[in-house]
């Protein structure tokens, strides 16, 4: 079972998430929190495998809560639930260390995939959010990580993986597209991040756009 901490200030939303992230799909709701401060406390108390975090909440918001959670030792990954018009908070969540971004409007099966992927260390960026991830990273100062990284040290296969990741694809989708195993995909991604000196999947998406490996959708 993947143990999940649900964080949202609306009980109705948490109830809907409980129905989607059910034991039937391999999830256990370890705890719930209605604000960021309670989320930080809950992480220390119940040690979940993954945090599903709303951003706009009363009191401590999801950005600050994500930042504090990621500063904890052995901190769980955080999947941020966002909407199409949350560019400002999306930028803050990226810099706070969020590991994935899913749309609140996404179908239940996509949310299940996103939570599972983030819990397993893959990361998740909804394809419709991928281009906006780039825009938020570029807002203000450019990303020093992506700017200093170089494609020269990547193999042909690794470049293929980067291109597909830049379109927001999950590891399972990459495996199907490239006709390789998911374990091989994970190995490639780890090697790529190490070679490029990048922190995570979101920074890798920025790299893909900045180096012309994928183009923003119109």
Q: What's the alpha-carbon Rg for the chain, to the nearest Å? A: 17
Q: Which residues contact 41 (CB under 8 A, 6 or more apart)?
A: 33
State the pLDDT confidence band at 17, using cuts at 50, 70 and 90: very high
As a whole number, mean pLDDT of residues 54-80 equals 91
As a whole number, mean pLDDT of residues 47-52 equals 97
Of 19-33, 56-70, 125-139, 178-192, the one with minimum mean pLDDT is 125-139
| Residue 133 in this model has a pLDDT that exceeds 90 | no
How far apart CA 211 and CA 218 sit, in angstroms, is 18
Supply the pLDDT for residue 154: 92
Q: Which residues pair with 101 in a beta bridge?
A: 80, 125
Is 95 or 79 the better-scoring residue by pLDDT? 79
Is 84 or 65 the better-scoring residue by pLDDT? 65
- Average pLDDT across the chain, whole number: 85
Supply the pLDDT for residue 125: 80
How far apart CA 61 and CA 70 sit, in angstroms, is 14
How far apart CA 172 and CA 105 sit, in angstroms, is 22
Q: Can you list the alpha helix ranges (DSSP code H) found in 97-126?
A: 108-119
Yes or no: say if 208 and 192 are a contact pair by the CB < 8 Å rule.
no
Nearest alpha-carbon partner for 52 in 24, 89, 27, 73: 27
What domains can be seen in the chain, in order of their start residue? 2-137 (3.40.50.2300), 141-210 (1.10.10.10)
| Residue 3 in this model has a pLDDT that exceeds 50 | yes
How far apart CA 30 and CA 18 sit, in angstroms, is 11
How far apart CA 205 and CA 218 sit, in angstroms, is 17
What is the phi/psi pair of residue 50, to 5°? -155, 150
Supply the pLDDT for residue 199: 74
How far apart CA 21 and CA 115 sit, in angstroms, is 9
| Residue 104 in this model has a pLDDT that exceeds 90 | no
Where are any strands of DSSP class E within 108-184? Answer: 124-125
| Residue 75 in this model has a pLDDT that exceeds 80 | yes
Sign of CA dihedral 171, 95, 151, 194: negative
Is 216 or 40 the better-scoring residue by pLDDT? 40
Q: Which residues contact 202 (CB under 8 A, 6 or more apart)?
A: 94, 98, 101, 123, 125, 133, 137
- Read off the pTM: 0.75
- Tokens read off for 77: 């990954």
């Amino acid at each position: 079972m993947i143990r999940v901490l649900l964080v949202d200030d609306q009980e109705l939303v948490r109830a809907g998430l409980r129905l989607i992230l059910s034991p039937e799909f391999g999830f256990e709701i370890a705890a719930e929190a209605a604000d960021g401060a309670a989320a930080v406390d809950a992480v220390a108390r119940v040690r979940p495998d993954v945090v599903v975090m709303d951003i706009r909440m009363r009191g401590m918001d999801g950005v600050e809560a994500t930042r504090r959670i990621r500063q904890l030792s052995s901190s769980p990954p955080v999947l941020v639930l966002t909407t199409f018009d949350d560019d400002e908070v999306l930028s803050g969540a990226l810099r706070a260390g969020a590991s994935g971004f899913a749309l609140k409007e996404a179908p239940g099966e996509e949310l299940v995939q996103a939570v599972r992927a983030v819990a397993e260390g893959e990361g998740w960026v909804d394809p419709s959010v991928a281009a906006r991830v780039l825009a938020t990273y570029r807002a203000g100062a450019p990303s020093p990580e992506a700017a200093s990284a170089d494609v020269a040290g990547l193999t042909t296969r690794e470049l293929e993986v980067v291109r597909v990741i830049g379109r927001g694809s999950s590891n399972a989708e990459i495996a199907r597209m490239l006709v390789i195993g998911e374990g091989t995909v994970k190995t490639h991604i780890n090697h790529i991040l190490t070679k490029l000196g990048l922190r995570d999947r979101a920074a890798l998406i920025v790299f893909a756009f900045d180096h012309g490996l994928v183009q923003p959708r119109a």
